[in-house]
Amino acid sequence: MMRMIRPLTLWVLLAAALLAWQSAAARGLPDFTVLVEEAAPGVVNISTTRTVQSRDNPFHGFGGQELPEIFRHFFGDRFPSPPGGQAPGRPQERQSLGSGFIISEEGYILTNAHVVDGADEILVRLNDRRELSAELVGSDERTDVALLKVEASDLPTLKLGDSDALRVGEWVAAIGSPFGFDYSVTAGIVSAIDRTLPRDAYVPFIQTDVAINPGNSGGPLFNLDGEVVGINSQIFTRSGGFMGLSFAIPINVAMDVADQLRDEGQVRRGWLGVMIQPVSRDLAESFGMESPSGALIADLDPEGPAARDGLQAGDVILEVDGSRVHDSSTLPRLIGRVAPGSEVALELMRDGERRQLQVTVGDWPDAERATASRPQESRQARLGVSVGELERAEREAIGIEGGVRVRELDPDGAAAAAGVRPGDILVSIDHRAVSSPDQLMELVSELPVDRAVPVRLYRDGRSLFVALRLRAE
């Protein structure tokens, strides 16, 4: 009997030890209950309505709602049209859902710009079930930040933290309305910081593994102290659903944008007036650098701040005011956060030697276009490009009489869809020569929308044509 008792006792002790260890491990995990109870009232659900022209694609107009991308992934454009759907070509009301959060008792709310893009009506629903009409104070597409304003009293506000203090591995939580489910909570850790995405050069994203889905956009990301450290903005996915990679806009970046939108009605960014490219290993060796880093200046705007203050093509910018330029994608963000008119200290590599240079940062050209006439804005929007003048020497080098340089593209614009790239020289459009940015915009205003038009480009010293189809205004 004693022989049987001893093994049994041993197993009981082992089981007890295992349970104790599991209990201790559980106690070591973060508890978000208090955070959610205190923060949830300051998180809002945002719904928007806009009127659009329906298309022949039956995807548009499914109960007045945009279909989730996951459905597009599985069904493509062959998704069946619902019974009673509106006929193609007629105005339709589109609705979208997102999240946001209250940052002040005066009724200011932060969300993503894409949540309220093109909205005719914005409705905010609070945790206490109040529904308030919101006014769009302003939005900034480059950072995907929008500022709303509601008229109400006794509004719960959220505490704002310091996103610069975040560390990789730190626990964070998100509150939002995925797929319209109000005040859903998900949690995870900070996977990386200062992440640059291809289309968002001005945002040092916070990467997390917090589950984010459509409807979470614009909602807050919290640290364990219940402070907002980011705005949940987008995910990386191959399937249309969450795959463990989500990205948030740092709250420090978002608040800088919000303050400018509230005080000035627009966002101003620093501008150097340079075209840059990555530094490969071979280029680094040829420049006398130990490793490939920094941003290589491939070309300069002859009237831009960089050319005025002595920067040259072939310079490799290594630091901006002491902040390292890890690669070419880092430079736009570092310069963009500098107030126009301010002086920055650049460390660069030139002719195999490190040099210091002071440059007074200019105002991003978009700010100038914001004060231009509305017809000009409309024509720019139709094409989806920002262009600049070409110097006579550049034209003579490639043997052309006119042309404009493509500085920047709207990734969703007509030019990008046609295959136009930043740095291209646009020579003609619809068989008509282009000699200046103003002339290009005039030509664009006359282009048809019922057919594709040829666009002649110069790229890497070679001439090529692309077919461009404009969208109806």
% of the chain at pLDDT higher than 70: 79
Alpha helix positions (H), 240-373: 251-264, 281-286, 305-308, 330-336, 365-370
Out of 3.40.190.10, 3.40.50.1220, 3.40.50.20, 2.30.42.10, select the CATH number for domain 372-468.
Answer: 2.30.42.10
Kind and range of the H or E element at 59?
Answer: none
How many angstroms separate the most distant Cα atoms in the chain? 105
Residues 422, 408: contact at Cβ < 8 Å? yes
**Most confident segment among 236-240, 344-348, 442-446:** 344-348
For the segment 171-210, what is each residue's pLDDT rounded down to a tens digit?
Answer: 999 999 888 787 889 999 999 988 877 666 678 899 999 9
Average pLDDT score over residue span 73-97? 51
Rounded Cα gap, residues 152 and 154, in angstroms: 7
pLDDT band at 339 (very low <50, low <70, confident <90, very high): confident
Name the band, by pLDDT with cuts 50, 70 and 90, for residue 59: very low
Domain pair 40-149 / 163-264, same fold: yes
The Cα–Cα gap between 39 and 422 comes to 43
Average pLDDT over residues 101-113: 95
pLDDT tens track for 353-371: 999 999 999 987 754 443 3
According to CATH, the topology of domain 163-264 is: Thrombin, subunit H (2.40.10)
User: Any idea where the domains of the chain sit in the sequence?
Assistant: 40-149, 163-264, 270-365, 372-468
Q: How far apart are CA 249 and CA 257, in angstroms?
A: 11
Say how many C-beta atoms besides its own lie within 10 A of residue 338's C-beta. Answer: 20
Supply the residues annotated as catalytic. 114, 144, 217
Q: What's this model's pTM, rounded to 2 decimal places? A: 0.63
Q: Which residues of 272-307 are buried (b: 16+ CB within 10 A; e: fewer)?
A: bbbbbeebeeeebeebebeebbbbbbebbbbebbbb
Residue range 40-149 in CATH 2.40.10.10: yes
Band the pLDDT of 328: cuts 50, 70, 90: confident
Q: What is the mean pLDDT of residues 93-113?
A: 90
How confident is the model over 372-401, as pLDDT tens digits?
Answer: 333 333 344 567 888 888 777 777 777 788
3-class DSSP assignment, residue 298: strand
Domain 270-365 falls under CATH 2.40.30.200: no
